[in-house]
């Protein structure tokens, strides 16, 4: 009996030591992953590179459509998107605490948040995308100032109409789209609990760039603005530099923005995570679909408003607040999270405004696209008509 007890004690000690060693190894592995993660400044650059881009080119025209309340709408858009982005980050931290068995590699963090609520090799890419946008902001602004000093254009503004106001609202929502990738970025941070700091500073930078380009363009060209501010600029090295920088941004930002989409589709179709021909086929099909949509609606501004009023309105302005309130109110084997009343009010307001604004914007965008005055056949039907749409 004593020998059996002694063997049992020794066996338990060995098992305990193995478990302890395993826990230590897990902690070391987790710490190693965190040490290699994105820093706070790098995360801020990633967010800027993710959000700021092509939407900025349409903001001056959005100001022309919205009139003098355009800057106010842009400020509210930044505050709403930033607030929801931080809420989304908090949702991800809640998920990580409640479901520690999810593992380190998660293909679709945004979808995981939605599922739980209801029912760093990328560093260089992020820096290039962000820096290209920042430099492009100053080259575009410089070109606008040069044009204003040289030509002294007579300034006239368009009359604000309800339809145009909603189109402007959709463009502004599109300009702040991209929060759906925030959980993916936060997941790669070395200090994910401090995501809100990076998000705050990045939105200050984004809003500053947006207001600079939009206000300069609006008060220089007035009602002579077209959907893409670059087409209003004078031909010269500043415009060419801006176009090159925006193109560089779009190329690198596409990698950031499309990767969560690719991984979500692959997860749904149960495609293996290793490199294989199935992943190549799926990603090629998704890109071809994106190209098809872009070529089907050649009007730049109307397309931005349509996307802003549909997917962006839900993913950026409705879903984050909805996920946050649901996760905090759900019952389970975890500590209850009490949401202050003012946060509940803000979340509900954002959900209502995002839903109603998205519906109205979508209707206005579809009406504009299908109107006989503004409708153009796609290039695969009539290449001449499509060329007139983008080069009037």
189 DSSP β-pair partners: 38
Q: Quickly tell me which residue has 């502004």 as its tokens.
A: 172
pLDDT tens digits in sequence order for the chain, 392 residues long: 445 444 444 444 444 444 444 444 444 444 544 556 778 888 888 888 878 777 788 888 888 888 888 888 899 889 998 999 899 888 888 888 888 776 655 666 777 777 777 664 445 655 665 566 666 666 766 766 776 667 666 767 777 777 778 888 888 888 887 787 788 788 778 888 889 999 999 999 989 988 888 888 888 887 788 777 887 777 888 788 888 888 887 777 777 677 777 877 887 788 887 878 888 898 899 888 878 877 776 666 666 677 777 777 888 888 889 889 988 888 877 787 888 999 999 999 999 988 888 888 888 777 776 665 555 666 767 666 656 655 65
| Residues 344/112, Cβ–Cβ less than 8 Å | no
Report the half-sphere exposure of 116 (CA within 13 A, side-chain side): 23
**H helical segments located in 67-122:** 70-98, 109-117
Residue 347: inside a domain: yes
Q: Looking at the domain assignment, is residue 24 inside a domain?
A: no
Task: Compute how many other C-beta atoms are within 10 angstroms of the C-beta atom of residue 333.
Answer: 5
Q: What is the pLDDT of residue 390?
A: 56
Q: Is 157 among the domain residues?
A: yes
275 lies in a domain?
A: yes
Q: Which two three-digit tokens encode residue 199?
A: 């998000």
Task: Determine the pLDDT at residue 364.
Answer: 78
Residue 75 maps to which CATH number?
A: 1.20.1740
Domain total for the chain?
1
Domain that holds residue 99: 38-390
Tell whether 14 is covered by a domain. no
Distance in angstroms (rounded) separating the CA atoms of residues 299 and 368: 10
Length of the chain (residues): 392
Alpha carbon distance 174, 177 (integer Å): 5
Does 2 map to a domain? no
DSSP symbols for 155-173: P--PPP-HHHHHHHHHHHH
In a domain? residue 11: no
Contact 276, 366 (CB under 8 A): no
Residue 175 domain flag = yes
The pLDDT, as a whole number, for residue 130 is: 58
């Amino acid at each position: 009996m004593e020998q059996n007890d002694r063997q049992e004690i020794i066996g338990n000690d060995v098992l305990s030591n193995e478990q302890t060693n395993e826990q230590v190894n897990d902690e070391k592995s987790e710490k190693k992953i965190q040490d290699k993660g994105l820093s706070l400044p790098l995360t801020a650059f990633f967010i800027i590179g993710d959000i700021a881009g092509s939407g900025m080119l349409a903001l001056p025209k959005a100001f022309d459509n919205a009139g003098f309340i355009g800057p106010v709408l842009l400020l509210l858009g930044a505050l709403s998107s930033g607030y929801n982005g931080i809420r989304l980050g908090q949702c991800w931290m809640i998920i990580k605490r409640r479901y520690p068995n999810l593992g380190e590699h998660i293909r679709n963090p945004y979808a995981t948040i939605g599922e739980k609520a209801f029912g760093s090799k990328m560093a260089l890419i992020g820096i290039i995308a962000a820096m290209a946008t920042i430099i492009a902001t100053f080259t575009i602004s410089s070109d606008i100032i040069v044009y204003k000093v040289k030509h002294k254009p007579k300034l006239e503004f368009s009359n604000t109409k309800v339809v145009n106001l909603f189109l402007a609202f959709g463009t502004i929502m599109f300009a702040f789209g991209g929060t759906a990738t925030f959980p993916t970025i936060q997941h790669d941070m070395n200090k994910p609990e401090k995501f809100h700091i990076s998000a705050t500073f990045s939105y200050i930078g984004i809003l500053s760039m947006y207001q600079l380009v939009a206000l300069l363009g609006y008060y220089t060209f007035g009602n002579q603005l077209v959907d893409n501010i670059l087409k209003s600029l004078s031909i010269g090295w500043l415009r060419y530099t801006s176009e090159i920088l925006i193109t560089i941004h779009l190329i690198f930002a596409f990698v950031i923005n499309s990767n969560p989409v690719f991984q979500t589709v692959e997860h749904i179709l149960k495609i293996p995570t290793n490199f294989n021909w199935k992943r190549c086929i799926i990603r090629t099909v998704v890109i071809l679909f994106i190209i098809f949509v872009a070529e089907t609606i050649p009007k730049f501004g109307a397309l931005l408003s349509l996307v802003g009023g549909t997917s962006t309105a839900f993913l950026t302005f409705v879903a984050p607040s909805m996920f946050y309130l649901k996760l905090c109110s759900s019952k389970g084997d975890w500590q209850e999270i009490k949401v202050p009343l003012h946060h509940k009010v803000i979340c509900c307001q954002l959900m209502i405004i995002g839903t109603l604004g998205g519906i109205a914007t979508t209707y206005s965008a579809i009406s504009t696209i299908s109107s006989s005055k503004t409708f153009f056949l796609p290039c695969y039907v009539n290449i001449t008509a499509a060329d007139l749409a983008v080069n009037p």
